Amino acid sequence: MRPIRLALLGLLLGTAVQAQPAAPPTQPAPPAQAPPADNSRLDQMLARWEKEMGTIQSLATEMTRTTVDKTWGTTETYVGRAKYVKPNLALLEMQKKDNPQVFEKYLCTGTFLYQYVPASKAIHVHELPPPRPGQAPGDDNFLSFLFGMKAEEAKKRYDLKLVKEDQWYVYIEVTPKLAVDKSDFQKARLVLNQSNFLPRQIWFEQPNGNEISWDLPKAQSGVQIDRNEFAPPQQAPAGWTMVRVPRAEAAPNPNNNAKPTVVRPNDK
């Protein structure tokens, strides 16, 4: 499920962007690197960040994701959009910038995650585990840092460092402390808008050294979104299949050659 968590990272990152009007179009993009700065204001900034996060009810945003593969020396760019309605309805659609026929689509209904896989013409259906008592949805990975985690909890789970402030942005470096988080990323940088203390950009480095950055220059919060957009597909498109993917904790022994179950069209 790690690739799905990383995809949803970008998706739910959008739920935290710009609850207030966007910055002027002349505002520059965050630079690739940021010089050191004093950390004395970090607690104050995290408190405001937590407050702003709690105001989001719905959001529609455009996004760009860039992946740098250090092994093969390649750079891949996807562009797309995301929509979100609190607490757990989300939609992410991305197309490869130089080849729109290559696309990704994730639909979260709160109970299931539908992952569209064009290469195999299949929709993978992942049942989302219910949160444990006292646990917020997504509390087992970096998603919760971006959406719903309290500032004090974030400081316990991650090493956070304020690396820079300027008139437009605040830059916070994030390093995981727990093994489960280190399996997703080894370091990250979160860029917050000074105007509203909500994310503008995130960059993170995977354990294999590859780099992924999400850029969210334009977003609208508080927008009216038809909940029907998050309705689960009743059937696969012509030529496609729906495949139920076993939950990780209930996955069969890999030695028994079990195959995923094909989902009936009316299966949700």
Q: Residue-wise pLDDT tens for the chain (268 aa)?
A: 444 444 444 444 433 333 333 334 445 666 555 545 455 688 888 888 888 777 888 888 888 999 999 999 999 999 999 888 888 888 999 999 999 989 999 998 888 999 999 999 999 999 887 765 554 444 444 445 555 568 888 888 899 999 999 999 999 999 999 898 898 889 999 888 888 776 788 898 999 999 999 998 877 778 899 999 999 999 999 999 999 998 765 444 444 454 444 444 344 4
Domain total of the chain: 1
Q: Which residues pair with 169 in a beta bridge?
A: 193
CB atoms within 10 A of CB 228: 6
Has residue 67 been placed in a domain? yes
Has residue 22 been placed in a domain? no
Q: Give residues with Cβ within 8 angstroms of 180, minimum separation 6.
A: 140, 141
Has residue 205 been placed in a domain? yes
Res 153: pLDDT:
83
Q: How far apart are CA 60 and CA 68, in angstroms?
A: 26
Has residue 268 been placed in a domain? no
Question: Which residue range is the domain that position 245 belongs to?
Answer: 2-17+37-262
Q: How far apart are CA 213 and CA 217, in angstroms?
A: 13
CB atoms within 10 A of CB 132: 9
CB atoms within 10 A of CB 191: 22
Has residue 31 been placed in a domain? no
CB atoms within 10 A of CB 26: 5
Has residue 201 been placed in a domain? yes
Q: How far apart are CA 164 and CA 34, in angstroms?
A: 6
Has residue 60 been placed in a domain? yes
Q: How far apart are CA 142 and CA 144, in angstroms?
A: 5
Has residue 95 been placed in a domain? yes
Task: Please report, for the domain that includes residue 96, its CATH number.
Answer: 2.50.20.10
Q: Residue type at 89?
A: L
The CA-based dihedral angle spanning residues 188, 154, 170, 54, taken in that order and rounded to the nearest 10 degrees: 120
